[in-house]
Amino acid sequence: MKLLSVIVPCYNEEQAIPYFYEEIQKTIAVFEKEFPETAFELIFIDDGSRDGTLSALKTLHEKDERVRYVSFSRNFGKEAGIYAGLQYAKGDHAVIMDVDLQDPPALLPDMYRAVTEEGYDSAATRRVTRKGEPPIRSFFARCFYRLINRLSRTEIVDGARDYRIMSRRMVDAILSMREVNRFTKGIYGWIGFETKWFAYENIERVAGETKWSFWKLLLYSIEGIVAFSTTPLALAALLGIFFTFVAFIMIVFIVIRTLVFGDPTSGWPSMVCIIVFIGGIQLFCMGVIGEYLAKAYMETKNRPIYIVKEEA
Ligand code: UDP
Ligand code: MG
């Protein structure tokens, strides 16, 4: 008998949980026909929800022994939820799925076939369109993927979702990356392994609302860049070299001009502009360095990625 662990991070999702449970039952029924030798375990991660998520999970656990849950002491973020789920998963394969049904469970049999019969270590999904998303958000998302793939040697796939099935050895590889600043999309690229991609159209949430504000996404994207690229640090150095060079040319120019035309005291406004400009560049570069320093500081503390309040 093989075991498939389904990991479902939930944050304030009491409305979506019943829909999800109903839908996953249909998928399990399909599996019973197509893969009779595979059993399921459902691991719900309650990421410090403030609504009835935990009690909804307890109810499910009572009526269905395949349902397990882990409840965090506060909101630690989806990345921490995924990590916890992978740690608790006992399966030969594990799949991460959103509770809002934006990750269609109907794809699961095909994804499972890819990792059991076709020799892949992972089958992942990506959205081909961003339909139903604010255009501004799509625009910035595209820019982000273009930027991070320029800056980082790790490949980060545009439109990739967290919906992904993995073999046990891939799960173990992810668990071995114990960093606190977790950018899962980068982690997948970094560990490698053969991945089969499934594309599908964007699906709207079944209930509740998205937990991502524009601001949260922006901060998350900066984390992603810092976690998987040190190019910005090199860019700061390059900027420094560039401006040193410009300054050198200006010095030569001014010395020659003074020798040829004498020195009428002028040029105060241009001087102020240059000082402000260089000051700005310097502060920007310090900010970039500070960002890396902050991350290094957080990592050296070696704090746990999440704290469990209760589990079953
Ligand atoms: N989620 C979580 N912790 C958080 C935010 C989100 O566990 O701090 C879960 C959420 O319950 C959902 C999944 O992550 O199952 C995806 O979140 P959401 O649907 O809000 O993101 P979107 O699909 O809009 O990118
Ligand atoms: Mg969603």
Distances (CA, A) of 226 to 22, 58, 160, 222, 291: 40, 38, 19, 6, 8
Torsion of CA 115, 119, 125, 126, to 10 degrees: 180
Coil, strand, or helix at residue 309?
A: strand
The answer on 121 and 62 residing in a single domain is yes
Same structural domain, 206 and 281: no
Same domain, 68 and 29: yes
pLDDT tens for residues 92-128?
Answer: 999 999 999 888 898 999 999 999 999 899 999 988 8
Q: Which domain holds residue 98?
A: 2-135+156-210+305-311
Instruction: Using most ligand atoms within 8 A of CB, pick from 98, 101, 162 the residue to mutate for ligand 1.
Output: 98
| 116 and 255 belong to one structural domain | no
Question: First CA to last CA across the chain, in angstroms?
Answer: 23
| The two three-digit tokens of residue 287, written as one number | 């900010």
- Residues in contact with ligand 1 by the CB-under-6-Å rule are 9-11, 13, 47, 75, 77-78, 81, 98-100, 102, 210-212
- Domain contains 10: yes
* Cα separation, 92 vs 235, whole angstroms: 43
219 domain-assigned: no
- Pocket probe mutation, ligand 1, options 78, 103, 133, max atoms within 8 Å of Cβ: 78
Q: Are residues 55 and 104 in the same domain?
A: yes
Helices first, then strands: H and E counts in the chain: 10, 8
pLDDT for 139-157, tens place per residue?
888 888 888 888 888 888 8
Residues around the ion ligand 2 (C-beta < 5 A)? 98, 100, 102
- Burial code (b: 16+ CB inside 10 Å, e: under 16) for 239-268 equals eeeeeeeeeeeeeeeeeeeeeeeeeeeeee
pLDDT in tens, the chain (312 residues): 899 999 999 999 999 999 999 999 999 999 999 999 999 999 999 999 999 899 999 999 999 999 999 999 999 989 999 999 999 999 999 999 999 988 889 899 999 999 999 989 999 998 887 777 788 888 888 888 888 888 888 888 888 889 999 999 999 999 999 988 888 888 998 998 999 999 888 777 777 787 788 888 888 888 888 888 888 888 888 888 888 888 888 888 888 888 888 877 777 777 888 888 888 888 888 888 998 999 899 899 989 999 999 999
Number of domains the chain is built from: 2
